[in-house]
A = this chain, B = another copy of it.
Amino acid sequence: MTSYVKWGFLTRFIEEAFEAYGIPEEDAKICTDVLLQSDKKGIESHGVNRFKPIYIDRIKDGIQNPVTTFEVVRETPTTAVVDGHDGMGQVIGYRSIKMAIEKAKTYGMGMVAVRNSTHYGIAGYYTDMAAEAGCIGISGTNARPSIAPTFSVQNKLGTNPLTVSFPTDEPFPFSLDCATSIIQRGRIELYEREGKETPAGTVIGHDGSAMTDSAAILRALQSGEAALAPLGGIGEELSGYKGYGYATIVEVLSAALQQGNFLSMLTGIGKDGEKVKFHLGHFFIAIDTEAFVGLEQFKQTTGDILRELRAAEKAPGVDRIYTAGEKEYLIWQERQKTGLPVNESVQKELIAIRDDAGLHDYRFPFED
């Protein structure tokens, strides 16, 4: 049964657990905040359900370093190339966007390109940080091969989010944080946990057919026998080449500026089937609105645009039109009262980590 866990308790537990696996206290706070920010926004695909498989297991497998060495390889007034040395992606991401914001505050714009990183969680965490600082934030990352190019059935590109946040005059930023595939692996993992099928047309099988069995898709994505369709779908009929193109842009920005790995180099599996480091790449751009007509004016115009969009004429039977970041804000309004709903599968993982890390002072509400 789903159980609600209070945020304060969950935050302390995740922080202590990260520390138990060797992550320094300050870094553990960052990693926890990135992880829970996803749950707070209702993006379960990137939240606590990934704590064990994507972070703890990878540290234990030795393919991700708990202590992060953040090396600035090259730097100019507005740009930097960073080598993350396979540390914690969230820490690398946090420090990179901070750098980009500082450069933007001084010179108007800043961009940091990262190589040898690991899974950095939701891209929107970093772009929202930029928006909070009065900047436009843009970020993306490459990832395990998942998306097939238009007219191919082979998973080549990662789900490669192209993520943008803007400050606005509303209580939350505009924040579009989405994969350049129609759906992404985390969403399919969630379908699989919930025992649901994956919508037809979003995944292409090796024979060109559409796949819908979520567990089979996850296995097939891993083995290369299935691939995600890019935004716009399979083939060119509904302009799938555009989503394919945007995924390619993210792949290039995540590898070519930093001389990092890309495409089939990012499987995480070595030639003898062993787990190997991912060596992911990310990019972070901050643009200071004060370098143009100013923050207050930017916020108001952006807010005016968003309000006009929401006030557009609705399709028959529709209650409400949203703008990006709004649903996530509404979910947080609800969840800050209720705590996080945790399903049974994740409950087992949290108990396993608690026991493995020896954090015996923690007793979860779902154990009562």
Instruction: For chain A, give the interface size range.
Output: 35 or more
Q: Does A313 contact B (CB under 8 A)?
A: yes
Q: Once the chains bind, are B81 and A78 in contact (CB under 8 Å)?
A: no
Say which one of A44-52, A56-64, A108-116, A339-347 lies at the interface with B.
Answer: A108-116
Q: Once the chains bind, are B109 and A111 in contact (CB under 8 Å)?
A: yes
Q: Does A84 contact B (CB under 8 A)?
A: no
A168 CB to closest chain B CB (Å) equals: 9
Q: Once the chains bind, are B107 and A251 in contact (CB under 8 Å)?
A: no
With A78-B108, A252-B166, A262-B305 known as contacts, the answer to whether A150 contacts B245 (CB < 8 A) is no
CA distance A235 to B341 in the complex (A): 27
A319 CB to closest chain B CB (Å) equals: 8
A128-157 at interface with B (beta carbon < 8 Å): 136, 148-154, 156-157
Of all chain B residues, the one with the shortest Cβ separation from A255 is B301
A198 CB to closest chain B CB (Å) equals: 12
CA distance A305 to B301 in the complex (A): 38
CA distance A234 to B29 in the complex (A): 40
Q: Once the chains bind, are A150 and B321 in contact (CB under 8 Å)?
A: yes
Q: Does A195 contact B (CB under 8 A)?
A: no
When distances are taken between beta carbons in the complex, the residues of chain B under 8 Å from A164 are 249
A78 is contacted by which of B78, B305, B312 (Cβ under 8 Å)? B78
Q: Once the chains bind, are A151 and B321 in contact (CB under 8 Å)?
A: yes
Q: How many copies of the polypeptide does the oligomer hold?
A: 2
Q: Once the chains bind, are B252 and A182 in contact (CB under 8 Å)?
A: no
When distances are taken between beta carbons in the complex, the residues of chain B under 8 Å from A310 are 149
CA distance A108 to B104 in the complex (A): 12
Q: Does A1 contact B (CB under 8 A)?
A: no
With A111-B109, A305-B255 known as contacts, the answer to whether A320 contacts B151 (CB < 8 A) is yes
CA distance A93 to B263 in the complex (A): 34
With A232-B231, A312-B156 known as contacts, the answer to whether A241 contacts B305 (CB < 8 A) is no
Q: Once the chains bind, are A79 and B292 in contact (CB under 8 Å)?
A: yes
A316 is contacted by which of B208, B253, B262, B318 (Cβ under 8 Å)? B208
Say which one of A15-23, A199-207, A356-364 lies at the interface with B.
Answer: A199-207
Q: Does A178 contact B (CB under 8 A)?
A: yes
When distances are taken between beta carbons in the complex, the residues of chain B under 8 Å from A289 are 256-257
28 contacts across the A-B interface (CB closer than 8 A) = A78-B107, A79-B109, A79-B288, A81-B292, A113-B292, A148-B312, A149-B310, A149-B323, A151-B318, A151-B321, A151-B322, A152-B315, A154-B313, A157-B309, A166-B256, A178-B245, A182-B238, A183-B239, A201-B238, A231-B239, A232-B232, A248-B324, A252-B302, A257-B292, A257-B298, A259-B301, A262-B301, A263-B309
- Sorted from nearest, which 3 A-B pairs have the closest CB atoms? A176-B245, A78-B108, A257-B292
Contacts beyond the supplied A78-B291, A259-B297: 14 A-B pairs with Cβ under 8 Å: A74-B292, A78-B107, A78-B109, A79-B291, A109-B110, A136-B253, A151-B322, A152-B313, A153-B313, A153-B315, A156-B312, A166-B252, A233-B238, A262-B308
